[in-house]
Amino acid sequence: MISKAKARNASFEDTNFRYKISSKPVSNGIYELNITIQSENHNASKLIVTGVMQHDYAVKPPLCSEDHKFFETIVRIDIEGYIAEAVELGWDYKQKGSDFVLTSSNEPYRQLYLDENKPAEWFHARHYHLKNKLG
């Protein structure tokens, strides 16, 4: 079970979840975020989200203006989107078992203009609920 210390809360289908975000360095100024999510009500399988990278621009300035389009700040709606996507892909958060790994990218955190075409990778995390409406 994810401990309450420094854990944050999210909910999905009337179930409360705890999540923690940690990071590991990949290179100078670049970190991979590790997002771990588990149901508070069920001491069961965890959801592990991998593939989201975070840049420390104080250490490694952006190479070009394109790098400023990504804002890798994870908020509760992102966690709820990851939970919804994982459940649709077969994660049963009520059953004990091995961890469910969901691979994402930074694409959901890219700023797009309203009329800009949305690539399939954009419909994760905070945009997952828009998948059937816009995709």
pLDDT tens per residue, range 2-26: 888 889 999 999 999 999 999 998 8
pLDDT tens per residue, range 82-134: 999 999 999 999 999 999 999 988 877 776 666 677 777 777 777 776 766 65
- How far apart CA 43 and CA 1 sit, in angstroms, is 6
Note whether residue 2 is domain-resident. Answer: no
Helix ranges (DSSP H) in 50-116:
76-88
pTM of the model: 0.81
Note whether residue 3 is domain-resident. Answer: no
Domain that holds residue 110: 8-134
Note whether residue 1 is domain-resident. Answer: no
Note whether residue 72 is domain-resident. Answer: yes
∠ Cα 82 85 90 (to 5°): 120
∠ Cα 132 40 123 (to 5°): 20
Query: How many structural domains does the chain have?
Result: 1
Grouping H, G, I as helix, E, B as strand and the rest as coil, residue 6 is: coil
